[in-house]
Amino acid sequence: MKKYLVFITCSLLCLGCERDLFDKDDPSVLEKDRFSEGIYMGYFVLQNQNYWCEIEFKGNKYEEWPSGGAYYQKEMSCLTTGSFSINNTTLKYDLDTYKFPSFAGSCNSEMILPGDYKIHLITINDSLVFSKGVGKDKIKYHLSRILK
């Protein structure tokens, strides 16, 4: 089990670094029509710290899931469900509900997913990179589809 977790950790970090090499600002390179629903796993960067995350996309709905580990992930009280849309280079998340509204603990409001994000990468290989904000308030997600 320990070797499996180390393998997944290293794989995701390597994939995230590799995708940054191909980060594009040109909307003509986005393959938004190839975006596939499914479960995407990876990490987001906030204030120079990586946090694990998992998002399921189905139809026009999304649902965040706990990513498994106890360290470096969103608080349970920050996980949300709702709808999403892709328009040109914008990925928009609209909040329906908080997944665990009564879960003890406080939520860092900068980690709440709903909002408008700039898409950096959508590929036929099911990679998804998007961000919002600038400077110390910037949050950038690096995700790969793991299940259909």
* pLDDT for residue 70 is more than 70: no
Asked if 54 and 43 count as a contact pair (C-beta separation under 8 A), the reply is no
Mean pLDDT of the region 49-73? 89
**CATH top-level class for 2-147?**
mainly beta
Does the pLDDT of residue 21 top 90, yes or no?
no
Q: 50 versus 27: which is more confidently predicted?
A: 50
**Which pLDDT belongs to residue 39?**
93
* Average pLDDT for 43-59: 93
> Domain limits of the chain?
2-147
Predicted TM-score of the model (pTM): 0.77
Q: 14-24 burial by CB neighbour count: b if 16+ within 10 A, else e?
A: ebbeebeeeee
Average pLDDT over residues 67-78: 80
